[in-house]
Amino acid sequence: MLTLLLIIPILGSIIILLININTTSQKQVALITSLINLALSLVLWANFDSSYNGFQFVTEFDLWVPCRLGLDGISIFFVLLTTFTIPICILSSWNSITFGIKYFLINFLILETLLIAVFGVLDLLLFYICFESTLIPLFFILGFWGYNTLRIRASFMLFLFTLFGSLFMLLAFLSLYYFTGCTDIQILSSTFISEKWQRIIWLAIFFAFLIKVPLFPVHIWLPLAHTAAPLAGSIVLAAVVLKMASYGILRILWGILPEASIYFTPLVYVICVISIIYTSLTTLRTIDIKTIIAYSSVGHMAIITLGVFSNTIQGIEGAILLMIAHGLCSPALFIVSTVLYDRYHTRLITYYRGITIYIPVFVTLFFVFILANSAVPLTGNFVAEFIVLAGSLQQNPVLTSLAATSIVLAAAYSIWIFNRIAFGSQSVYIIPQGDLNRREFIMLLPLFVMILILGIFPNIFLDVLHCSVSNLLYK
């Protein structure tokens, strides 16, 4: 069944490419394909045994190299997040993409296959190939279907920044193969590697993940990419692509190089605290809605990294939960920003004021997503951030206390942007427009429901995570 998740989007791409059908039918094929994959991933989750601490649904086959796939309690949620996000991406571009729609849809279906493969492969070489291959469709999505003249620069910055860091990761993987003679993640996790070489290899791999997360000072590609990307590109970038590095840290750095990870934890904590404070203060001075959301994503990813390196069950489980919560909240805010842009043709908040009186349904959902971004109780972000900070406090109380200022700073910029747009007297610069249409409401409703479910019933996810996280730390 795991293999089907990889094959179905490819089949959908072939149908779209080869069959001479109109653009509406192409969109329908892509949407149906992504929904089938979502249904299959839910069946996979229903059959998952949360009491087993190994990999399940293991599949082995030979391509040009032996390929081995499998899911544990950590990776299954990233697969679910991917299959949940892609249908929303396709819906979000239903009317906004006016040229090359066939190739736009194919890029997203291929990207879905590659993202699922990143979270499912159990071999370092294949992980690297899939990790880097996601850059190709992302490069085309930003470069061809981006919003403004910065799209070419944004696509090249995304491609070159990530590729530069990944060269060091490739050298590190080759070094691991040289020392151990294999690239299987499960075998490497139980293979002895001297602490000296662990530290050298760790630095090379972490540098690649640092760019991809991203954290200060190599985060500058992300705001530009989000600002220039089409809505679907921003959604998949925020929801799934940024999570690949955090997943890699758990699977590779903690799974294979634990001593080096413990040694460098203080360094990572310092980088995370600087990232949180710097990006939050930057957000307070920004007036472009998409840029504000992009910078807030950097801060949230820094909190996630803080939890990942806490070396505690609470911190790591909270970090994974926050990855899921951020993968729901941030895309919702990007949809909100695009709804405003489609109606009023500006993303500068200085032009907005008092829109509540004529689009109340939109403002209500916007308010819930702003509360989630601020980590207010009854949202998934609150539960996840609380657990992350509780776990990180055991590792380093001083730096965790500094990182906790994100609670106040996030509330400051989130409430400020909502108050500036929704309340006050009606702006003279904008003409009243209609409320959410059916397509926009269908996109936002699942995100709204999942954010509340994650905040009210987090044990649905934590119970599945517990065994795999415990195995990661105490194997």
Q: What is the pLDDT of residues 356-388, one digit of tens each?
A: 888 889 999 999 999 999 889 989 899 999 999
pLDDT of residue 65: 66
Name which of 118, 109, 77 is nearest 90 in CA terms: 109
Whether 236 and 165 share a structural domain: yes
Contact between 128 and 173 under an 8 Å Cβ cutoff? The reply is yes
Residues 324, 448 share a domain: yes
If asked whether residues 233 and 268 sit together in one domain, one would say no
Residues 116 and 144 reside in one and the same domain: yes
Residues 216 and 308 in one domain: no
Question: Buried b / exposed e across 306-330, counting CB within 10 Å, b at 16+?
Answer: bbbbbbbbbbbbbbbbbbbbbbbbb
Choose among 12, 252, 235, 238: nearest CA to 118. 252
pLDDT score at 64? 65
Structural domain boundaries, residue 185: 1-254
Residues of the chain scoring pLDDT < 70: 63-65, 475
pTM above 0.75, yes or no: yes
**Per the omega criterion (within 30 degrees of 0), is the bond before 9 cis?**
no
The domain boundary, picked from 221, 254, 287, lies at 254
pLDDT for res 265: 92
465 occurs within a structural domain: yes
d(CA 381, CA 303): 11
Cα 33 to chain center, whole Å? 21
Report the alpha-carbon distance of residue 205 to residue 190 in Å, rounded: 19
Q: Which of 230, 254, 278 is the last residue of a domain?
A: 254
The reported pLDDT for the residue numbered 416 is 86
Domain boundary among 203, 226, 254: 254
Residue 61 domain-assigned (yes or no) = yes
- Count Cβ atoms within 10 A of the Cβ of residue 420 and give its class: 0-12 exposed, 13-18 middle, 19 or more buried: middle
In the prediction, which pLDDT does 368 show?
A: 92
> Are 132 and 241 in contact, with CB atoms under 8 Å apart?
no
Whether residues 226 and 274 share a domain: the answer is no
Query: In this structure, are 146 and 169 located in the same domain?
Result: yes
Give the per-residue pLDDT at 63: 65
From residue 132, how far is each of 177, 178, 189, 244, 374 by CA, in Å? 19, 21, 23, 11, 32
Question: What's the pLDDT at 388?
Answer: 93
* Structural domain includes residue 259: no
